[in-house]
Amino acid sequence: MKPLFRLRPYLARYRTTLLWGLLTVVMSNLFNVALPLFVGRAIDQLKTGLQTGVLDTGGVLTYAFLVVGFSLVAGIFTFLTRQTIIVVSRHVEFDLRNDFLSHIQKLSLAYFQTTPTGELMALATNDISAVRNALGPGIMYPTDTLMTFVMVLGVMLYADWQLTLLALIPLPFVSLAVYRLGKLVHKKFEERQAQYSALTTRAQENLSGIRVIKTYVREEHETALFRDMSWDYLKKNLVLARVQSIMWPLMFLLIGFSLVITLYYGGSRVMDGRLTIGTLTAFFGYQVMLIWPMIAFGWVINQLQQGAASMARLSRILDTEPEIKDTGVTDEGITSVKGTIEFRNVTFRHAGAEQPALRAISLTIPAGRTLAIVGYTGSGKSTMVNLIPRLYDVTEGELLIDGVDVRKIPLKVLRGAIGYVPQETFLFSETIAENIAYGTDAGTVADVNEAAEIARIAHDIADFPKGYETFLGERGITLSGGQKQRTSIARAVMRKPAILILDDALSAVDTYTEEGILSRLRGVMKGRSSIIISHRISTVKDADSIVVLDGGAIREQGTHDELVALGGIYAELHRKQLLEEELEQL
């Protein structure tokens, strides 16, 4: 149960409502506890009437009205209990879900490279719901159970303490059974949730990769694999259900023993004249009232164990500290970035990697200048630009912007000054206009149109039936690869950033479209620090400076003409592309 204790700050926000809820529990039980007493008194009057032949009708009716009235008032308080405590659990679920999403968005990029998306989805849905179930019923029913137990036990002890103690003999066995089974429920629930995460991950990958699955005709293979995982999930659910199903019959069996004891010893006392039939009837009524607390106790233990297991899983995420965040060295006085970028002997190594991805990079990009980066696949081009917005932090050396170490610049300021078009274009399931304007809250319709014109996507948008209000499918599936890239470029341009990074952002467009985009981008890049990564020489040849990466290190640096004359890697790439163009023309 310990993981659930970290929910105390959430519950503290609604302490007033919870206190009112607990008060309604007390009031509901006060009115409920009086009911068997009224029934017992009525039965004693009926017995007296049968013995004397004179029935006190008024007295019996009085008790009948009291039973109805008290039941009605108890029902009202029970309704108010649910309207307070259960509603609070829903609010806590809302807060916890938002905090969970906010936290995982702060985690570093490396975390998501090692954590399956499906597992995070399972945590955000199934596990948070389990925590809410533990909170609502987990607060209401234990309180109700405890109050009922204490009040009923007090009345029973007052009525006949000897008979009460005999009737309570099976109860310690109930507690022992619940404790043992509760531990087993916790373990089996964790196993089920782990399998649910794996199942969710597989489903998410199947939906995201549906094009690949269909292209390679792997539908039956994936269906069979998913069926096997679903079968494992079913088996774990059945095991959990079997464990839970033992609890209820065991509860009823032990409570049945208690009723048998009461019937035997209580009946003998009635026959001896030491107990009235009405008192025995009230006694049975109170024991029946104890049945629900015992059942609720077992059910609540199940819910609390499941909630604790889910909260433990959530805690592992919530306790994960972002590797990249604002720290004590962050200078909150920095509110803007001009754009001069300097790498000082920068080396970077991915976690767990034997070899560094970047080696001793030293380079300066003056504000307002354009740098192009070329190199073979895997040479470290994307890794290098990922250091600028601090998607990763340098392992050795320094990365400075405007002469300040990037770790001293507030993350919001740093990333807010960068327009980044990554290799893998991602579009949201929103309209085209909303996707273009995603990076800024200050854009106007005119700004969206201007950005679309610069990215050469405006003409395509005009051909769509709803224009800029065209709704894109998941990951922009309704657009072609080139259209997605151009939309992503428009999104970056829309921010009017101090630093513009294009990571192979024109690979999916033809050379004619590329030239049109670049001609418009030159106006945008004027006065901004720009970095262009590309495999095409035609994309980078007009840059102010070009660096060639190989094996994570800078091998060549200069202008297009200088590098061609050098006769190295760049010149080789240039010759190959010229040959490819000639072959295409032929």
Express each pLDDT in 113-168 by its tens digit.
778 777 788 888 878 888 888 887 777 777 777 787 788 888 878 877 888 788 77
Any domain includes 257: yes
**What domain count does the chain have?**
3
List, for residues 388-411, the tens digit of each pLDDT value: 999 889 999 999 999 999 999 999
Question: Cα separations (Å) of 548 from 345, 448, 562?
Answer: 16, 35, 12
Does residue 214 register a pLDDT over 90?
no
Token pair of 62 as six digits: 């009085």
- Indicate whether 60 and 18 sit together in one domain: yes
Any domain includes 474: yes
Q: Please give the pLDDT value at position 365.
A: 92
Please give the Cα distance from 122 to 82 (Å, whole number).
27
Q: Please give the pLDDT value at position 295.
A: 64
Q: Please give the pLDDT value at position 197.
A: 79
Token pair of 527 as six digits: 């006065």
Q: Please give the pLDDT value at position 344.
A: 94
- Indicate whether 64 and 47 sit together in one domain: yes
- Indicate whether 487 and 504 sit together in one domain: no
Helices in 209-342 by DSSP H: which ranges? 210-215, 219-261, 267-272, 277-318
Does residue 87 register a pLDDT over 90?
no
- Indicate whether 582 and 539 sit together in one domain: yes
- Indicate whether 190 and 290 sit together in one domain: yes
Does residue 83 register a pLDDT over 80?
yes
Please give the Cα distance from 533 to 520 (Å, whole number).
17
Contact of 378 with 535, CB cutoff 8 Å: no
CA nearest to 167, candidates 38, 283, 270 = 283
The DSSP secondary-structure symbol of 517 reads: H
Q: What is the mean pLDDT of the chain?
A: 83
Any domain includes 538: yes
Sign of CA dihedral 86, 88, 93, 94: positive
Please give the Cα distance from 120 to 316 (Å, whole number).
11
CATH code (residue 490):
3.40.50.300
Contact of 397 with 345, CB cutoff 8 Å: yes
Q: Please give the pLDDT value at position 254.
A: 74
- Indicate whether 465 and 566 sit together in one domain: no
Backbone angles phi, psi at 323, to 5 degrees: -70, -30
Q: Please give the pLDDT value at position 408.
A: 93
Q: What is the mean pLDDT of residues 254-279?
A: 78
Contact of 203 with 226, CB cutoff 8 Å: yes
CA nearest to 266, candidates 256, 281, 252 = 281
Residue type, 117: T
Any domain includes 94: yes
Any domain includes 135: yes
Question: With helix as H, strand as E and coil as C, how does 542-558 read?
Answer: CCCEEEEEECCEEEEEE
Any domain includes 412: yes
CATH code (residue 42):
1.20.1560.10
- Indicate whether 286 and 345 sit together in one domain: no
Please give the Cα distance from 471 to 464 (Å, whole number).
10
List, for residues 497-515, the tens digit of each pLDDT value: 899 999 888 776 777 777 7
Please give the Cα distance from 131 to 308 (Å, whole number).
7
Q: What is the mean pLDDT of residues 279-295?
A: 74
Residue count (the chain):
586
Q: Collapsing DSSP states into helix, strand and coil, what is residue 371? A: strand
Please give the Cα distance from 320 to 315 (Å, whole number).
8
- Indicate whether 195 and 87 sit together in one domain: yes
- Indicate whether 441 and 393 sit together in one domain: no
Does residue 53 register a pLDDT over 90?
no
Sign of CA dihedral 484, 489, 493, 498: positive
- Indicate whether 169 and 305 sit together in one domain: yes
Q: What is the mean pLDDT of residues 358-377?
A: 91
- Indicate whether 273 and 410 sit together in one domain: no
- Indicate whether 199 and 108 sit together in one domain: yes
Please count the CA atoms within 13 angstroms of the CA of 311 that sit on its side-chain side.
22
The DSSP secondary-structure symbol of 455 reads: T
Q: Please give the pLDDT value at position 579.
A: 84
Q: Please give the pLDDT value at position 410.
A: 93
Q: Please give the pLDDT value at position 50.
A: 65
Terminus-to-terminus CA distance in the chain, angstroms?
74
Does residue 387 register a pLDDT over 90?
yes
Any domain includes 79: yes
Any domain includes 379: yes
Range of the domain at 473: 425-496
Q: What is the mean pLDDT of residues 367-373?
A: 91
Q: What is the mean pLDDT of residues 44-72?
A: 76
Q: Please give the pLDDT value at position 303.
A: 76
Of the listed ranges 116-125, 208-217, 309-318, the least confidently predicted one is 208-217
Of the listed ranges 38-42, 53-57, 148-152, 311-315, the least confidently predicted one is 53-57
Token pair of 509 as six digits: 């467009």
Q: Collapsing DSSP states into helix, strand and coil, what is residue 346? A: strand
The DSSP secondary-structure symbol of 527 reads: T
Residue type, 437: A
Q: Please give the pLDDT value at position 556.
A: 92
Question: With helix as H, strand as E and coil as C, how does 381-436 read?
Answer: HHHHHHCCCCCCCCCEEEEEECCEEHHHCCHHHHHHCEEEECCCCCCCCCEHHHHH
Q: Which residue has the higher pLDDT, 260 or 413?
A: 413
- Band of residue 296 on the pLDDT scale cut at 50, 70, 90: low
Token pair of 205 as six digits: 């990958």
CB-neighbour burial class of residue 227 (10 A; exposed 0-12, middle 13-18, buried 19+) = exposed
Please give the Cα distance from 201 to 193 (Å, whole number).
12
Of the listed ranges 220-229, 236-245, 415-424, the least confidently predicted one is 236-245
Q: Please give the pLDDT value at position 257.
A: 79
Of the listed ranges 112-126, 168-182, 314-328, 526-540, the least confidently predicted one is 168-182
CA nearest to 407, candidates 393, 418, 417 = 393
